[in-house]
Amino acid sequence: MPLRILGIESSCDDTGVAIVSSPRRILSNVVISQNSEHQYFNGIVPEIAARAHIENLNKATIAALQNSINIESIDAVAATCGPGLISGVIAGSMFAKALSSVLKKPFIAINHLEGHALTIRLTNNIQYPYLLLIMSGGHSQFIMVRGLGKYTILGQTLDDAIGETFDKVAKMLKLPFPGGVEIEKRALNGNPLKYSLPKPMIYKDSCNMSFSGLKTAIRLLIEKLNNSLDTTTVNDIAASFQYTIGVILKSKILSAIKLYEKKLEQVTMKSNKVVISGGVASNQYLRDILKSEVELKNYRFFFPPKQLCTDNAAMIAYAGLERFIKGITNDLNFQPRDKWSIEEV
């Protein structure tokens, strides 16, 4: 009999419920987005997000079950227990604990970043180890993934996350929320070389990154243009910004590969795989340029389908499945948390 895990995700502004069965099959994957609730504020309002999760969790669970199986045949319930907006994490994890308790099935606490880290094993069945670049709204990290629960951060942003930078620049350009995807659209019609923007830390031979200076440069550029944001200007700024992020990431991925190879040597492992994941990994421009850069180094490049790059519960259910197979479950008194390093899972 295949194992079936119900996963719950609520760490940001998407409510997700999914069922994944062993070895790697998504039976259902429901995501209820809250874009319309947050659009007016041009950003995520934690209290509104938590209330919406409470409303949507039940709906999403019913929809996920309708598309697939009877709730009694679930083997375990996995939920994001952090990191993220704490009110949303509490809503989802309490809901999951209640389900686990009523169904008398084990509860599994999942680190959201572990969900992003393992998605590629669900979709492409790739083997450990691999070098991972997580690019989301809250995190930007290069991670050596050696096995389930064995993660080493090789480098990360020292200030804003990449997704956060996309969102903040989009807001300055008066683009609708959520901003990342809008920037990508507008960049398609813009000139990427129109504005020369700073590339902080690009020459440092580490894979740490910094994006706040780039964000400030765009604010100053908009001020210099007297805030006259006509369509061409917005398209050109979007394209120049996305191009600059690309240049930074191309350089940083090479530094990360160097460090990864050193670390692999220390543990006498070999692997030439680079994986990207997280919301920003759904950006086609960044996928294309990172792919060519990585392939020049004779590495293979992997990315999940776009709907599994952005937040979803299939990745949480899958991380739960890997943990369940290894016999790892959690007590119902597991504390949800807003900060939780992937190295500490």
Residues in contact with Zn ion by the rule CB under 5 A: 136, 311
Closest residue by Cα to residue 83 from 28, 1, 156: 156
Map the footprint of ligand KG4 across residues 130-149, applying CB under 6 A: 136-138
Q: Which of these segments, 36-44, 207-215, 280-288, 331-339, binds ligand KG4 (CB under 6 A)?
A: 280-288
Using CB under 6 A as the binding rule, whether residue 178 contacts ligand KG4 is answered as yes
160 binds, among Zn ion, ligand KG4, none (CB under 5 to 8 A by kind): none
Do residues 329 and 108 touch, judged by C-beta distance below 8 A?
A: yes
178 binds, among ligand KG4, Zn ion, none (CB under 5 to 8 A by kind): ligand KG4
Least distance to ligand KG4 from the beta carbon of 242, Å? 8
Please tell me the distance from the alpha carbon of residue 12 to that of residue 138, in angstroms, as a whole number. 9
Strand 76-82 to strand 107-111: parallel, antiparallel, or no bridges (unpaired)?
Answer: parallel
Closest residue by Cα to residue 141 from 284, 252, 250: 252
Do residues 44 and 13 touch, judged by C-beta distance below 8 A?
A: yes
Using CB under 6 A as the binding rule, whether residue 179 contacts ligand KG4 is answered as yes
Q: Which of these segments, 93-101, 257-265, 275-283, 319-327, binds ligand KG4 (CB under 6 A)?
A: 275-283
Expressed in angstroms, the distance from the first to the final Cα of the chain is 29
**CA pseudo-torsion sign 301, 302, 305, 310:** negative
Least distance to ligand KG4 from the beta carbon of 80, Å? 10
Distances in Å between the alpha carbon of 280 and those of 116, 171, 216, 223? 12, 16, 20, 27
Which of 111, 311, 315, 319 forms a contact with ligand KG4 (CB under 6 A)?
311
Which of 8, 12, 214, 316 forms a contact with ligand KG4 (CB under 6 A)?
12
304 binds, among ligand KG4, Zn ion, none (CB under 5 to 8 A by kind): none
Using CB under 6 A as the binding rule, whether residue 180 contacts ligand KG4 is answered as yes
Which of 310, 314, 318, 323 forms a contact with ligand KG4 (CB under 6 A)?
310
Q: At what angle do helices 231-266 and 284-296 cross, to 10 degrees?
A: 40
Residue where the block lists tokens 């908009």: 222
138 binds, among Zn ion, ligand KG4, none (CB under 5 to 8 A by kind): ligand KG4
What track of x and - describes contact with ligand KG4 for positions 221 through 260 (by CB under 6 A)? ----------------------------------------
Q: CA torsion, points 51, 53, 54, 58, in degrees to nearest 10? A: 150
Binding-site size for ligand KG4 (CB under 6 A) equals: 20
Using CB under 6 A as the binding rule, whether residue 283 contacts ligand KG4 is answered as yes
Q: Which of these segments, 141-149, 195-203, 218-226, 272-280, binds ligand KG4 (CB under 6 A)?
A: 272-280
CA angle 278, 159, 109 (to 5 degrees): 45
The answer for residues whose C-beta is within 8 angstroms of residue 157's C-beta and 6 or more apart is: 139, 140, 141, 208, 209, 210, 211
Q: Which of these segments, 50-58, 179-187, 190-198, 265-273, binds ligand KG4 (CB under 6 A)?
A: 179-187
Task: Give residues in contact with ligand KG4 (CB under 6 A).
Answer: 12, 136-138, 163-164, 166-167, 178-181, 184, 278-280, 282-283, 310-311
